Amino acid sequence: MSNDPRSYETFLRERREAILARIADAARRAGREPGEVEAIAVSKTVDADAALLAMRAGWRLFGENRPQELGRKLEALQGSPEAAGVSFDMIGNLQKNKINQVIGRVRLIHSISSGHLAEAVSTRCEARGIVADVLLETNVSGERSKSGFSPDELRASVEGILELPGISVRGLMTMAPAGDADAARRTFSGLRDLAEELRLRTGLPLRTLSCGMSDDFEIAVEEGSTLVRLGRCVFDRGYDLA
Ligand SMILES: *Cc1c(COP(=O)(O)O)cnc(C)c1O
């Protein structure tokens, strides 16, 4: 990162505009409205000062993957005028003993990766008298390294999860295999088709499809993503927005 905060802010601003233009183009290519797609700036690798500059550059939604770092950022940003109206999402693996550090502090939890975790989050939200908006993380590509429900597990358990009183399921989330554009496209279209199937079965809108990262967000938008999670391409000057 640069030592010159002003020019880093300029980089962040220009990069944001370039990213939003690409999202809009990808949406139009797919016959979608650019306004259907939100982008979150994944600030997990940068400090609170850089996140603050990103807020000045126009970003309003942020993502963190560790409860502890989420807490640190929220504390550091408390009271900053730039942070007014900004919200954070939890996008990373959530351990049961960290649930209380996250609920009530984030707009959306993307990473409900099992029925047990769904139940645990629901129970803790109920105890606090809140309802958490969540996404069900789905391992569409079937890679062993990825967490989340398999599509069949989700088909089998979705109805029970939707009945949990402490969570409100807004949609699905997935991660694509790295470095393979065709596999990424199949993963994203698979997520879209699975959400459609579950919509028909449950009658719930399940509107949010969280998919697409720096290397594959345009493909994700072409395949129906409503929420792209962007880290390196937002914050890293060395990242080449190809
Ligand atoms: C880090 C991370 C991202 C952002 O990845 P980039 O490739 O840096 O854009 C998105 N989603 C999750 C779950 C992540 O952990």
Domain architecture of the chain: domains with CATH: 5-228 (3.20.20.10)
Q: What residues pair up with 229 in beta bridges, in sequence order?
A: 40
Distance 127 CA to ligand 1 centre (A): 31
DSSP string, 10-63: HHHHHHHHHHHHHHHHHHHHTT--GGG-EEEEE-TTS-HHHHHHHHHTT--EEE
User: What atom of ligand 1 comes closest to residue 45's alpha carbon?
Assistant: 1
Sole residue written with tokens 């459609």: 196
The one-digit pLDDT tens for each residue of the chain (242 residues) are 556 666 999 999 999 999 999 999 999 999 999 999 999 999 999 999 999 999 999 999 999 999 999 999 999 999 999 999 999 999 999 999 999 999 999 999 999 999 999 999 999 999 999 999 999 999 999 999 999 999 999 999 999 999 999 999 999 999 999 999 999 999 999 999 999 999 999 999 999 999 999 999 999 999 999 999 999 999 999 999 97
Distance 216 CA to ligand 1 centre (A): 11
Minimal CA–CA distance to 141: which of 111, 184, 197, 194? Answer: 184
DSSP state for residue 177 in the 8-state scheme: P
Minimal CA–CA distance to 70: which of 96, 37, 94? Answer: 94
Pocket residue to mutate for ligand 1, from 22, 40, 91, most atoms within 8 A of Cβ = 91
**Residue with CA nearest ligand 1 atom 1:** 231
Distance 228 CA to ligand 1 centre (A): 9
User: What atom of ligand 1 comes closest to residue 233's alpha carbon?
Assistant: 9
Ligand 1, CB cutoff 6 Å, lining residues: 42, 44, 65, 91-92, 213-215, 229-233
User: What atom of ligand 1 comes closest to residue 44's alpha carbon?
Assistant: 1
What pTM value is reported for the model? Answer: 0.96
Distance 229 CA to ligand 1 centre (A): 6
**Residue with CA nearest ligand 1 atom 10:** 229
